[in-house]
Amino acid sequence: MQARSFSSVARDDSTARVERVLRLNAEIREQRDAIAALRAEWAKLDAPLRLQGLAERHLKLQPLVATQYDQLKNLPERPPAFARPGAPDPIGAMINTIEAAADAPPTTGSIPAPGDQR
């Protein structure tokens, strides 16, 4: 009787596992179909002729003319530096302040912060 009971449990267990595998395979097939549909849609949206048409319709671009290039000597001068040489970097100082605040141990509302007078 125990052998019969064990075999029925094993059969039920294997049947449940086979059904689970079949469900997973069906789900994988659905996901692959969805991926294929998305790839096809992306290929359609990314088509060069479609993008060129959209650019012509919505962007007011003009063709590049060879005379639009200039020489380096005609570039304007470099803008002045706002920080004096040798002075601390203001952006670096802000980053250091932020990093120091992030490294500080967190304070909860149940314990007053150091220096907090309540």
Range with the poorest average pLDDT among 38-47, 61-70, 91-100: 61-70
What DSSP string runs through 33-82? HHHHHHHHHHHHHT-HHHHHHHHHHH-------GGG---GGGSPPPPPPS
- Provide the whole-model pTM: 0.43
For residues 38-49, average pLDDT: 95
For residues 49-57, average pLDDT: 92
Q: Which residues contact 90 (CB under 8 A, 6 or more apart)?
A: 83
Confidence grade of residue 53 (pLDDT, cut at 50, 70, 90): very high
Phi and psi based region of residue 60 (left: phi greater than 0; alpha: psi -120 to 50; beta: remaining)? beta
Task: Name the residue ranges covered by the structural domains of the chain.
Answer: 2-58
